[in-house]
Chain A
Amino acid sequence: MLNADRHEYPNHDALYDDYVERGWTDGLPVVPPSPEKVAHFLASAGLKADEVLGAVPTREVVVTAEHAAINAVMAGCRAEYMPVVVAAVRAHLHEKANCHSTTGTLSGAAQIVVVNGAVRRELDIQCEGACFGPGWRANATIGRALRLVIRNVCRAIPGFLDRASFSSPLRYSFCFGENEEASDWRPLHVERGFAPDESAVTVHSTMTFVPCVDFTSRSPEKVCESWLGMLRRYGVFTDRFLGEGQNLLMVVGPEHQRYFLEAGWSKDDIREYLWPRFQNPGPGERPVMLGSPEGMLLVAAGGPGMAETWFFFPHLAWAITEGLAHP
């Protein structure tokens, strides 16, 4: 039983024009969310329409599975993506994911969806070359589905509750998978308490992102020193609400990762090297205020060629990992 209001249109063009006029899209075309298709999406995830996925108390908004399904259809998802979309919505609506702040902020913070586990390969979620960019249906539409939920259901509409000065193209969609097969590094979801044979989604709100490009370093220590220069230039800040749960997402490309692998460094070895060097910033540098070494979320992804690691500095939120509930 679906609860949403129904609108009739003579054709797809009329629906799209009306959805744009009503402010129900991100500006891009949408797949018509017909009752039949939305019901199919819910059934494929084993969800009832009125199942509550989370809430935004400051906006008096409650997000249901039906909301997620309608917006996932509109985003162009396939029905089998629904468990990932639902996990992303649940993660983003965690209290410490701070939906109200991260989607209303002047800074235009964006939400990154990192996928782990077998579901990446089952759904063809790109983890390797060009994984941050266009060309991958699952990446593009899962990230977009979360953003449409944020816009349509959580009311983060530019000029209304989205007060971004510039906003960000990352807000159209940003989803990729960890390249777990590239090494024996423990995948992100396993580091965060899930079993290796489980699949999970991590949502991280980012305000500033920057690549650390370094073609000259040839050892783990030197790559880490290169990273430290960049990390201390930007810094990570926290406050009482966030406490010690802040995260820094560090996406390590294969050209940097191989120096760690060749030297036998695990993710924990990298943390052990970086952690004491986060303290006591020098002149002109900023502190990297994470509560613990585990606040560094190291993820392997990307393709060969560029010797780079991407840093996604947090907005005022924790990164939250949510397991996939299969029907």
Chain B
Amino acid sequence: MTANGERGLVGLDPTSGPLERQDSRSLAERPASLDGAVIGLVANGLGQGEDFLAALYDELNSLCAPNGAVRVLKQSVSVAPEPADWARLTSEVSVAITGFGG
């Protein structure tokens, strides 16, 4: 019973937990410069995504001095990159760029 005589009730949390990550992972620090960086370009395969990322790399190349690009085209538009693509990205690139939509 509550102070005003109402019967209280209990509700259960319907979620799978807090949205915030509970582990020690965090975003990598933003690099101070892209000079000398290898840029990962991860395309989802929709629309003109590859062309857009290529144009974006050209734009970066005109603004600073990146050390080349690693291009990844996802095997499917509907799922995450495959393990081999993740391995390439984590071992070969300094910064990766991706997008969503078509």
Interface residues, chain A, with chain B CB atoms under 8 Å away: 2, 4-12, 15, 18-19, 24, 32-35, 38, 58, 61-63, 67, 70-71, 74, 98, 100-101, 106, 148, 152-155, 157, 160, 163, 239-242, 316-317
Per the 8 Å Cβ criterion, residues 34-57 of B in contact with A are: 45
Q: How far is the CA of A24 from the CA of B101 in the complex (A)?
A: 27
> What is the chain B residue whose CB lies nearest that of A15?
B11
Question: Among the listed A38, A74, A157, A316, which residue makes an inter-chain contact with B78, where contact means beta carbons less than 8 Å apart?
Answer: A316
Given A152-B15, A241-B75, is A8 in contact with B80 using a C-beta cutoff of 8 Å?
A: no
In the complex, are the beta carbons of A11 and B8 less than 8 A apart?
Answer: yes
Q: Which of B13, B19, B45 contacts A7 (CB 8 A)?
A: B13
Question: Which residues of chain B are near A240, meaning CB under 8 Å?
Answer: 75-76
Query: Across the interface, do A74 and B14 meet the contact criterion of CB distance under 8 Å?
Result: yes
* Interface presence of B6 (CB below 8 A): yes
A-contacting residues, B49-102, CB 8 Å:
75-80, 100-101
Q: Can you name the residue of chain A whose Cβ is closest to the Cβ of B78?
A: A316
Known: A101-B79, A240-B75. A9 touches B12 (CB 8 A): no
B14 touches A70 (CB 8 A): yes
What residues on B are CB-neighbors of A18 within 8 Å?
A: 11
Name the residue in B13, B14, B79, B101 with the highest tally of chain A Cβ atoms < 10 Å from its Cβ: B14
Partner of A8, one of B4, B10, B15, B45: B10
CA distance A63 to B16 in the complex (A): 7
Q: Does A160 lie within 8 Å of B79, measured CB to CB? A: no
B16→A9 contact, CB < 8 A = no
Q: Write out the residue numbers on chain A whose beta carbons fall within 8 Å of the beta carbon of B9.
A: 8-9, 11-12, 15, 32, 34
Expressed in whole angstroms, the Cα–Cα distance for A135 and B101 within the complex equals: 36
What's the tally of chain B residues with a CB closer than 8 Å to chain A? 22
Are A163 and B100 interface neighbours, CB within 8 A? Answer: yes
- Asked whether, in the complex, the Cβ of B11 is within 8 Å of the Cβ of A7, the reply is yes
Complex: how many Å from CA A241 to CA B76? Answer: 6
Residues of B within 8 A of A98 (CB): 78-79
- B2 in contact (CB, < 8 A): yes
Which residues of the other chain, B, contact A100 by a CB distance below 8 angstroms? 79-80
Q: CA of A35 to CA of B9 in the docked complex: distance in angstroms?
A: 10
Query: Known contacts A11-B6, A241-B79: does B13 contact A61 (CB below 8 Å)?
Result: no
Which one, A35, A157, A239, A317, contacts B10 given CB within 8 A?
A35
Residue of A nearest to B1 (CB): A10
A45–B49 Cα distance when bound, in Å, is 47
Inter-chain contacts of B14 with A (CB < 8 A): 4, 19, 24, 33, 67, 70-71, 74, 148, 152-153
Q: How far is the CA of A62 from the CA of B79 in the complex (A)?
A: 18
- 28 A–B contacts from the bound complex (CB under 8 Å): A4-B13, A6-B12, A6-B13, A7-B11, A9-B11, A12-B9, A15-B9, A24-B14, A33-B11, A33-B12, A34-B10, A35-B10, A63-B16, A67-B16, A70-B14, A98-B79, A101-B79, A152-B14, A152-B15, A153-B14, A153-B15, A163-B100, A239-B76, A240-B75, A242-B76, A316-B76, A316-B77, A316-B78
Question: Which 4 A-B pairs rank lowest in CB-CB distance, beginning with the nearest?
Answer: A316-B78, A241-B76, A4-B12, A5-B13
Q: Which residues of A contact B101 (CB under 8 A)?
A: 106
| B11, B13, B19, B75 pick with most chain A CB within 10 angstroms | B11
Name the A residues within 8 Å of B12 (CB-CB). Answer: 2, 4-7, 33-35, 38, 70
Closest to A155 in B: B19
Contacts of A106 in B (CB 8 A): 100-101
Cα–Cα distance between A157 and B14 once the two chains are bound (Å): 13
Q: Write the nearest CB–CB distance from A148 to chain B, whole angstroms.
A: 7
Chain A residues whose C-beta falls within 8 Å of the C-beta of B4 in the assembled complex? 10
Report how far A58 CA is from B79 CA in the complex, Å: 9
Complex CA distance for A239 and B8, rounded to whole angstroms = 53
Q: In the complex, which residue of chain A has the Cβ closest to the Cβ of B2?
A: A10
With both chains docked as a complex, state the minimum distance between the C-beta of B27 and any C-beta of chain A, in angstroms: 16
